[in-house]
Structures are given as structure tokens and as C-alpha cells.
Structure 1
Amino acid sequence: MTDEFKHKDSKGQSISPSLPGNVKNYLIDIDGTITDDVPNEEPERMATCEPFIDALETINKWYDKGHQICFFTSRTEEHKEVTANWLIKHGFKYHSLLMGKPRGGNYHWIDNHIVKATRYKGRFTDLINKNEIIQVFKD
């Protein structure tokens, strides 16, 4: 195991490496979030839909500030090329593209890292802090 993966928490337990505190790792959906909601069953629309301008501007600003941008979509692997070409055509700056996100909107993410989630509600803007009730594992 390389040194980069030998991080320890306060109890001495090995943990995965994390980004510097000022760098966020954004996982951003595509359909219905940065462009029209295009289902996998209508792939002909994937190449011709238009981006939401506020999403393009905000995501590129985050990228330029040094944050990691990963598009995580329910589009299937067979649609990866048309998706990457669409992102490039419209000027989205990003680091990675993950296909095959679970379909349906009610998922519960469990991870060994802190996960923050923001539900897209029609406007893509800078994020603000807000206190909400969340579910966590019982001690």
C-alpha cells in the first residue's frame, strides 16, 4: 500500500485519503439538473438538448476555483461517448464522468466519508449553509 493511502483518523484507524479542506468533490447529475430530463429510452435527444446556463456558469466557476467536478449520471455506458461529447461541446469543465447511477430518485447513500447532498430545485447557484435533519447510524 502506498503512503498516500496510509491516512489515520483520530483513533489510529486507516482511512481513505481526502481532499484538502478547501476543495470540494462535486458529484453532479446531468439529466434534469444541468439540462432537460432526457431518459435513456430517448437517446436521440442526448446530443441536441441545451444546457441550463446557470449550471454551466456555476460548475465552471467551481472547477476554476480548484474543486473536483464529476458528472454522475443514470445514463448507461452505451451513452458515454455522446454524453462526453455533449459536455465538451457546451463547454463544461470536469474531471470525470461516471455512468450508471441508480435510476429513481429515492436513494440513500452510505459511505465511509462525509457525504453532503443538495437537491436540485430549478436553479443552479452557489451553495449556502442550512441546518436540516438527517439520518445517521445509531451509536
Structure 2
Amino acid sequence: MKNKSLEDKIVDGQKISPVLPEDVKNYLIDIDGTICDDIPNEEPERMATAKIYEGALETINKWYEEGHIITFFTSRLEDHRQVTTEWLDRHGFKYHGMMMGKPRGGNYHWIDNHIVRATRYEGKFTDLEVRDAKVEVFKK
């Protein structure tokens, strides 16, 4: 499925970033420990045989088919791009892009002028649900 929201936009002769429709989510999804076995960069020989976590493939492909943007954001190095691409493709993951070299660790804080939502993977990959939660915001 071609996602119309990803088509190049030209305004006054300038290429600009596409504007996502309100109902389209832009998913940034980790790989190791989120959709498959948690494999450290120091053991790249295991990346080709990583086991998929239950529900990850079906859920991600469903989101893709619904027209959402799927980008894998991984701590794997650029040197691991080929093995990672081959693994994703062999297993049938549908996605739009992949960003390599995410810093390892877990204290991510995304600051943006648009709404940002974060979901921590805790052992089950399914559709998302809405819950009330505490969030950090800028002081007034």
C-alpha cells in the first residue's frame, strides 16, 4: 500500500516535509528487545536468527496497512543495516524506513512542538489502548 502522506511535497519550488493527516500515526519502533530477541551489538552474528516476539509482525503490518508510518529506530549500528534489512524482509515486516545508531540506554525524552506519545514495550505486542498517565511538561 502506498502511503499518500509520504509523497514528496513541492511548495513554491521547494521540497518540504509532508504533513501527516490527523488520523495517521508516525510509529518509531525499536527492534532488539521490542519486536524480537534482545541482541546486543557485540553479538551481531545472532541478528540473522533473532526470534520474533508474538504479535509484533501482525500488529506492525496491520498498522502499516491502516496507512500509518512505520520506522524502525534501533541501536544497531550502520554496519548492521544489511543483516537487519534482510531479517525484516525475510519475516515480512512492512515498513517505510530504518534509523540506525540510536544511543543505548533507556532515558529517552523527545521534545517537539507536536504531540508526542510514548509506549514502553513490556512483553506483549498488541494494539494500543488509551490510559491516563503522568507526563513531564515544561514549567509554566
Q: What TM-score do you get using the length of structure 1 for normalisation?
A: 0.86
Q: For residues 1-80 of structure 1, what are the structure 2 equivalents within 5 Å?
A: 2-3=10-11, 18-80=19-81
How many Å separate the matches in 1 of 2:96 and 2:38?
22
Moved over 2 A (4+): none
Partner Cα distance (1:102, 1:118) in 2? 18
Identity between Structure 1 and Structure 2 (%):
68
> Which residue number in structure 1 is paired with residue 7 of structure 2?
none
The SS at the match of 1:53 is coil
1:133 offset after TM fit, Å?
1.1
Could you say which residue in structure 2 is the equivalent of 1:87? 88
Q: Distance in 1 between matches of 2:81 and 2:18?
A: 28
Q: How does 1:102-117 map to 2 (within 5 A)?
A: 102-117=103-118
Give, in angstroms, the shift of residue 130 of structure 1. 0.7
Unaligned runs of 5+ in 2: 1-9
Task: Return the letter of the residue paired with 2:37.
Answer: D
| Shift of residue 69, structure 1, vs aligned partner | 0.3
Give me the whole-angstrom Cα distance separating, in 2, the residues matched to 1:49 and 1:131: 34
CA drift at 1:138: 1.5
Residue 17 of structure 1: how far off its partner (Å): 5.2
Q: What's the RMSD between the two structures over aligned residues?
A: 1.7
> Across the two proteins, how many residue pairs are aligned to each other?
128
TM-score by length of 2: 0.86
**SS of 2:72 mapped into structure 1:** strand
Q: Partners in 2 of 1:101 and 1:36 — Cα distance?
A: 17
Q: How far off is 1:113 after superposition? A: 2.2
Structure 1 residues 53, 91: closer, same or farther in 2, change over 3 A? Answer: farther
Q: Which runs of 5+ in 1 are unaligned?
A: 5-15
Letter in 1 for 2:94: K
Structure 2 contact 54–124 (Cα < 8 Å) conserved: no
